[in-house]
Structure 1
Amino acid sequence: MKLFSRLYRQVMMWAVHRHAPLYLSMTSFVESIFWPVPVDVMLAPMALARPQKAWYYAGLATLFSVLGAAFGYLLGYALWDPVVEPFISAMGYHDKIDVARQWFSDWGIWVIFIASFTPVPYKVFTVTAGLLHMAFLPFILISLVGRGMRFFLVSGLMVWGGVRMERKLIQYIDLLGWLCVVAAVIAYLLLRN
């Protein structure tokens, strides 16, 4: 079934859309607060479609992701009880917040770097940092470094791989897509308890 190759072609068309930088900025902002889709899903095809703008796109993603992180921090800091906690309860995310608190306890400020650079859900840590009243300036600086490293790495890989990588990706996109779906289902079944 060629579902993922059709999706890939659609994403590449969106990547060159004249409003793509605006959408990337908005996605980067909300992903740091609540949005479940990683910024890389939009950043990578944009950098691949227009490699001459890859560093600009990485900079936009970094800037707006850190601005979103600051907003998430402020939500956790000032609006935990009236806004964030009811949302967390409704979504059943208390266990994720408990894990974030434990990570802050174990690793301190370095957990922000881990969350900002790796696939760990960054949004959980931005809000929790505010809830725990973490020092704001170190939070912003470490977020800037971690998010910048991640997004510039993604853009750099797209520039480096270029047309050759795109050809390989197109060749195997459906297989890779279905493997990701199977892996996600297996991970869900293993981790749901």
Structure 2
Amino acid sequence: MLHNLVEVLKELGPWGLFIHSFIDAVIFPIPAFVLQVSLSILDPSAAIWLATVGYIACLLGTPFGYMIGKFAGDKFLNKILKKSWVDSATNMFQKNGEMAILVGSFTPIPFKVFTILSGFLHFPLWRLIAYAAIGRAVKFYAVGILFYLYGRAAAHMAKDVSLYIFLAAIPLLALVIWFKRRKDKKQKENETDSSNA
């Protein structure tokens, strides 16, 4: 039934991708990546436009996923999402929320897990949207640029795009984490010095 719905959305072209990307950030179990690739194969020259449509819709859907997590909470997570997804995402959040969202934007774990979990764990909405804007841009535009440059030949490359992005992003994410921890440490030291003064 879900695959039939994706086929219906495919018939709608960019509007179908808009709808798919929006509900992908909220509740839909099939990633918008699937439809983005299908539509990009049909018209590689429109791949950047499709990436833009998907990206904007995803960001618009993100607050709705957040609200589901905030108000429906644990019961909703365990009913509609795989326990392994929830456990993995929760572990990421406990270590570093910002990095969890950035990494989650282009891992195989559906992005809705991170939008819903952000609400459930009371992660600030503005920070969710800010980090989602970065991570989802990388995912959507990496696929769009591949198809725009290589045409239909990019179909084989697109399957592994999440892996390539993840591997390329590891050093950058490690650097961001290091700077953040260093900044937090200095801030705590300054607060301690102020309280002792």
TM-score, normalized by length of structure 2? 0.67
For residues 94 and 47 of structure 1, what CA distance do their matches in structure 2 show? Answer: 32
**Which of 99, 105, 112 pairs up with 2:101?**
112
Amino acid at match of 1:59: T
Unaligned runs of 5+ in 2: 1-6, 160-197
Amino acid at match of 2:110: P
* 1:73 pairs with 2:44: no
Match of 1:147 in 2: 136
Match of 2:145 in 1: 156
For residues 131 and 27 of structure 1, what CA distance do their matches in structure 2 show? Answer: 23
Match of 2:193 in 1: none
For residues 19 and 81 of structure 2, what CA distance do their matches in structure 1 show? Answer: 25
Q: Flag the 1:95–1:40 CA change in 2: closer, same or farther, 3 A.
A: closer
Shift of 1:98: 3.3
Paired residues for 1:1-193 under 5 Å:
17=11, 19-80=12-73, 85-91=74-80, 93-163=82-152, 165=153
Q: Flag the 1:23–1:127 CA change in 2: closer, same or farther, 3 A.
A: same
Per-residue deviation, residues 64-91 of structure 1 (Å, max 9, x unmatched) = 11222211011111332xxxx4443444
- Runs of 4+ in structure 1 deviating by more than 4 angstroms, as ranges, are none
Shift of 1:146: 0.8
Shift of 1:39: 1.2
For residues 89 and 45 of structure 2, what CA distance do their matches in structure 1 show? Answer: 38
Q: Flag the 1:25–1:103 CA change in 2: closer, same or farther, 3 A.
A: same
Per-residue deviation, residues 151-177 of structure 1 (Å, max 9, x unmatched) = 1111111122215x17x96xxxxxx9x
Question: Quick check: 1:113–1:145 contact (8 Å CA) kept in 2?
Answer: yes
Q: Flag the 1:161–1:52 CA change in 2: closer, same or farther, 3 A.
A: closer
Shift of 1:111: 0.5
Percent identity for Structure 1 against Structure 2: 27
Shift of 1:51: 2.8
Shift of 1:95: 4.7
Q: Flag the 1:45–1:114 CA change in 2: closer, same or farther, 3 A.
A: same
Residue 64 of structure 1 aligns to a residue in which SS?
A: helix
Q: Flag the 1:130–1:20 CA change in 2: closer, same or farther, 3 A.
A: same
Report 1 or 2 for greater relative contact order, CA contacts < 8 Å, sequence distance ≥ 6. 1
Which is further off, 51-60 or 96-105?
96-105
Question: Quick check: 2:86–2:113 contact (8 Å CA) kept in 1?
Answer: yes
Could you say what the CA RMSD is over the residues aligned between the two structures, in angstroms?
2.7
Q: Report the number of matched residues.
A: 152
TM-score, normalized by length of structure 1? 0.68
For residues 118 and 93 of structure 1, what CA distance do their matches in structure 2 show? Answer: 15
